[in-house]
């Protein structure tokens, strides 16, 4: 009997093709959870490594400027100042200001009332990472994830930039700088900033969608 013929018999000598044991359905959720935990562990390791690398890189020429920028972004002061300037001009600039402020409201509420309360990620240990004291801004007491500063800055840049295209690049660069400043000053992990940026993009899109709906309703009523 050939080896091919032998493979058609099971261990009891009865004819039949061997098949792999079925995967039990109840094991699949456990496997998915285990995989997710492993991925999350790896992401946190990378997050911490990048945070440590930023902390260990000497940048004396940037420290003071990024510290001031991070502080100026508290409560979206920079974005509101830009919005106030845009609102002075009718038409597209004023619409950009309204859309941007609406986006900030959505991003801030989502980050602070939902994201931070659900995740409750502790702030980085700035002293253990040896972040240069010259970079320090006050360490917030709120949870670390996501970055509210980044979410609001990106939200404003997204909404105002779409409403007023010439402002898109400057506002985008400003939002990027605000996000990086939060890592540079040691108050956020890079992952917090990345999540804040995603939230900001979504908030900007939501503000634009609401604005478009209101405009259509107004035109229909006219």
What is the pLDDT, as a whole number, of residue 25? Answer: 58
Please report, for the domain that includes residue 192, its CATH number: 1.20.144
Q: Are 66 and 134 spatial neighbours (Cβ–Cβ below 8 Å)? A: no
* Best CA proximity match to 196, nearest among 210, 173, 180: 180
Region 131-151: what's the mean pLDDT?
Answer: 97
Measured distance CA(42)–CA(45) in Å, rounded: 5
User: 5 in a domain, yes or no?
Assistant: no
- pLDDT tier for residue 14 given thresholds of 50, 70 and 90: low
User: 165 in a domain, yes or no?
Assistant: yes
Distance of CA 174 to the CA centre of its chain: 16
What is the pLDDT, as a whole number, of residue 158? Answer: 99
User: 1 in a domain, yes or no?
Assistant: no
User: 16 in a domain, yes or no?
Assistant: no
- pLDDT tier for residue 19 given thresholds of 50, 70 and 90: low
pLDDT for 59 beyond 80: yes
Here the tokens at position 152 are: 């609001």
Q: Are 199 and 110 spatial neighbours (Cβ–Cβ below 8 Å)? A: yes
Q: Residue 150 pairs with which residues in a beta bridge? A: none
Query: For residue 7, what are the contacts with CB-CB under 8 A and spacing of at least 6?
Result: 17, 18
Give per-residue pLDDT as tens, 60-70: 999 999 999 99
pLDDT for 111 beyond 80: yes
Measured distance CA(73)–CA(175) in Å, rounded: 10
User: 92 in a domain, yes or no?
Assistant: yes
- pLDDT tier for residue 40 given thresholds of 50, 70 and 90: confident
* Best CA proximity match to 174, nearest among 52, 25, 72, 63: 72
User: 112 in a domain, yes or no?
Assistant: yes
Write out the residue range of the structural domain in which residue 107 sits. Answer: 27-221
| Chain mean pLDDT for the chain | 90
User: 22 in a domain, yes or no?
Assistant: no
pLDDT for 16 beyond 60: no
* Number of folded domains that form the chain: 1
Q: Residue 9 pairs with which residues in a beta bridge? A: 15
Q: Is the peptide bond before 15 cis (omega within 30 degrees of 0)?
A: no
Rounded to two decimals, the pTM is: 0.83
pLDDT for 6 beyond 60: no
User: 176 in a domain, yes or no?
Assistant: yes
* Best CA proximity match to 174, nearest among 192, 193, 156, 195: 156
Give per-residue pLDDT as tens, 161-188: 999 999 999 999 999 999 999 999 999 9
Backbone angles phi, psi at 9, to 5 degrees: -115, 140
Q: Are 91 and 154 spatial neighbours (Cβ–Cβ below 8 Å)? A: no
Measured distance CA(51)–CA(66) in Å, rounded: 16
pLDDT for 41 beyond 80: no
Region 175-203: what's the mean pLDDT?
Answer: 98
């Amino acid at each position: 009997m050939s080896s091919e013929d032998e493979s058609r018999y099971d261990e009891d000598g009865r004819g039949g093709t061997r098949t792999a044991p079925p995967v039990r359905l109840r094991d699949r959720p456990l496997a998915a959870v285990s995989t997710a935990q492993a991925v999350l562990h790896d992401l946190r390791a990378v997050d911490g490594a990048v945070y440590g690398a930023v902390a260990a890189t000497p940048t004396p020429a940037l420290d003071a400027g990024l510290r001031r920028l991070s502080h100026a972004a508290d409560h979206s002061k920079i974005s509101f100042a830009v919005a106030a300037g845009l609102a002075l001009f009718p038409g597209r600039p004023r619409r950009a200001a309204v859309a941007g402020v609406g986006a900030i409201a959505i991003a801030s509420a989502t980050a602070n009332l939902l994201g931070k309360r659900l995740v409750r990620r502790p702030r980085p240990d700035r002293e253990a990472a040896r972040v240069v004291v010259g970079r320090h801004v006050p360490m917030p007491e709120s949870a670390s994830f996501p970055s509210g500063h980044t979410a609001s800055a990106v939200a404003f840049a997204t909404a105002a930039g779409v409403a007023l295209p010439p402002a898109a690049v400057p506002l985008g660069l400003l939002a990027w700088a605000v996000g990086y400043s939060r890592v540079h000053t040691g108050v956020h992990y890079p992952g917090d900033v990345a999540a804040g940026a995603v939230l900001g993009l979504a908030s900007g899109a939501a503000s634009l969608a609401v604005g478009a709906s209101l405009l259509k309703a107004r035109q229909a009523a006219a």
